[in-house]
Chain A
Amino acid sequence: MTETSLWWIDWTLNGRTMRRESAVRLLLLFIAASGFLVMLLSGGVDRFLAGQWSVTALLAPSVSEEEGRGIAAKIADLPGVAAAEYHTPEAAWKEFIAAFPGLDSIRTASGNPLPGYVEIRLRRDRLTQETLGKLESALKPLPQIEKVLAGGTWMPRVLGLKRWVNAFLWSALGFLGLLLFTVFAVQERSRAVRLSGDFAFLVGRGIAPRGIAWRRAATAALVGGLSSLVALAAAAALLFRLDTRFSWFRKAVGPWEDLLTPALLPGPVLFCLLAALATGAASRMAWRAAVSPRP
């Protein structure tokens, strides 16, 4: 393409404004990309909740350590289970004393009163009442498992609240996206109005108005897609930095390397596509604000 190609008409005629607008868009896209990546990794409060809360399957006193490990391995294979770890009775006792020091007197002459147990953590994307119910149904009939502790009556409320909080967070992200589109549309409109005389010049010299409009929209979409790619890269770099530096961040949001898994990779791709579409659509909509040539 030459310097005066119609594809880059806005950059040719109004380069300074384009650079300024692009800087603003890049910043806004970076904020949106950061929020998007955090939500993608964490699922809202899912990651935090899944990390904090676990289901405990108390084993019968007759279950040996070997048997306990075997049960834990089988539980880990159940759908919706992220990890299942067997704790020996002795380990359980140490944990109890650590939590309640000074109560070691309850250990009788017959030995450790506490049984071994399996600590079960659910996958953050399967932390639902349904998954919980299925797990309980699978574990309770087993003779080796004496009791399943799953949060009692308050867990369903917590899970219900989790859904609302997640909906709010995703809506906030959606609102940010809408705000971005509005900013793009306002920028495109004001630029189109400012360049309307130049468009009239070109239309008056035989350039089809539709041709100008679609070329501008296509270039806007291309630049929008590339900008979103840069913004995503910057957001991922920030995520990496925070993830490796602050353990609480990693616990709440999740490991940054999960972004590279096949399950989450479509997310950033979709972000770029949406950003490209939004900028292209904003440009096309703003074209109507540009004055057609008048006699």
Chain B
Amino acid sequence: MIEAFRLGAAVGGETLWDGLDLAFGEGEVWVVTGPPSCGKTLLLTTLRGLRPPEAGDVLVGGLSLYRGKRDAAGAFRSLSGIVPECPASPGGDAPEGAGARDRGATVADLFRLSAMALGGMEAKERRQREGELLSLVGLEGRAGETAASGIRERALASLSLSERARVALAAELFRSPQYLFGDMLLANVGRDWTDTLWALFRALAREGRTIILAERTIPSQWPAAKAGGVSSAGPFLILHLGPVPATPGPSSRGEPGNGVVLRGGDGDEPGLPPGGEGEEGA
């Protein structure tokens, strides 16, 4: 379980949020939404143990990431995965993947990097796992595709945003993380993939994994928790999509209590736009 106590963050002397109390349990899917620049990415970074908060603490399994043992945050990150907002994007400003795109790295290179984070893997085993995961996210085994023309040898910079996001997701799943974070993942992969991702996250949650997504909107067709599944904390509205039902629920049109976010924090509408359709990805 990931717990945040009295969490506070400030950027450039300006307080973004303060006094957040959060808890993310095992086998649960969470979506954090909020208006632009409210600090969603910052929240994920803090929860991952990469940036000490200005106030409060984050505990994972009862161990503090910032005030306890020195390697606690590193140990937690080895169990977690992150699909960043700009996955190896040519125009992105995230440091991750920047080197990869600059040197024309391919999809296979990203998996090599992921295998390295895992502590190393034999090439044959790596390629097999790559193939399984790329098929899972719809990027391999397409008609007319050969080994040479396949997605693995394509440069990351040549992929569309949706393809990059799915490749990044596959590269994280490669390491079977206990905790999976996604920053604008649903927005990036696009509407066509939201159902697939829901099924995937549901399967991961059944295995006891925790999924935490930061999004601007929630796809309307995602099933919502019962009443009480929505909470607000600071500028965020946090949707709890668990316990995971056996089958997806009926699509919601914004009825209160179904967990679909309609109202935002600071006067904006971070939830569904009128019409109830999710924001389209690239």
Contacts and interface: CB of A to CB of B under 8 A. Distances in A.
B99 A198 contact: yes
A1 B116 CA distance: 11
A295 B50 CA distance: 6
A13 B121 CA distance: 15
Interface string B116-148: 111111110010000000000000000000000
A201 B121 contact: no
A4 B115 CA distance: 6
Contacts of B51: 295
A258 B99 CA distance: 50
A196 B116 CA distance: 15
A206 B78 contact: yes
Contact of B121 (A2, A198, A200, A295): A2
Contact of B103 (A12, A14, A294): A14
A5 interface: yes
B79 A202 contact: no
Interface string B27-69: 0000000000000011001101011000000000000000000
B96 A6 contact: no
A201 B117 contact: yes
B117 A13 contact: no
Given A12-B112, A13-B112, A295-B51, A198 B78 contact: no
B99 A194 contact: yes
A205 interface: yes
Nearest to B74: A206
A1 B82 CA distance: 27
Contact of B95 (A9, A200, A205): A200
A12 B112 CA distance: 8
Contacts of A2: 115, 120-123
Contacts of A293: 50, 95-96
Interface in A188-206: 194-206
A237 interface: no
Interface hub of A3, A201, A295 (most chain B Cβ within 10 A): A201
A9 B116 CA distance: 8
- B interface, over-half SS: helix
A2 B96 CA distance: 23
Contacts of B115: 2-4
A6 B109 CA distance: 14
Nearest to A290: B99
Query: A interface, how many residues as a size bin?
Result: 20 to 34
A197 to B, nearest CB: 3
Nearest to B122: A2
B96 A200 contact: yes
A11 to B, nearest CB: 11
A217 to B, nearest CB: 17
A204 B82 contact: yes
B192 interface: no
B42 A4 contact: no
A195 B105 CA distance: 11
Contacts of B120: 1-6
B123 A205 contact: no
A155 interface: no
Contacts of B98: 196-197, 200
A4 B96 contact: no
Contacts of B78: 205-207
A208 interface: yes
A183 interface: no
B121 A205 contact: no
A295 B45 contact: yes
Contacts of A205: 77-78, 80-81, 114, 117, 175
Given A4-B120, A5-B120, A13 B109 contact: yes
Given A2-B120, A4-B115, A12-B112, A194 B126 contact: no
A60 interface: no
A202 B102 contact: no
6 contacts: A2-B121, A197-B98, A200-B95, A201-B96, A202-B113, A204-B96
Interface of A: 1-6, 9, 12-14, 17, 194-208, 291, 293-295
Given A206-B74, A206-B117, A207-B116, 12 more contacts: A1-B120, A194-B103, A198-B97, A199-B99, A201-B97, A202-B113, A204-B77, A205-B175, A206-B77, A207-B78, A294-B95, A295-B51
The 10 closest A-B pairs by CB, nearest first: A206-B78, A197-B98, A197-B99, A295-B45, A206-B77, A295-B51, A205-B117, A2-B120, A4-B115, A200-B95
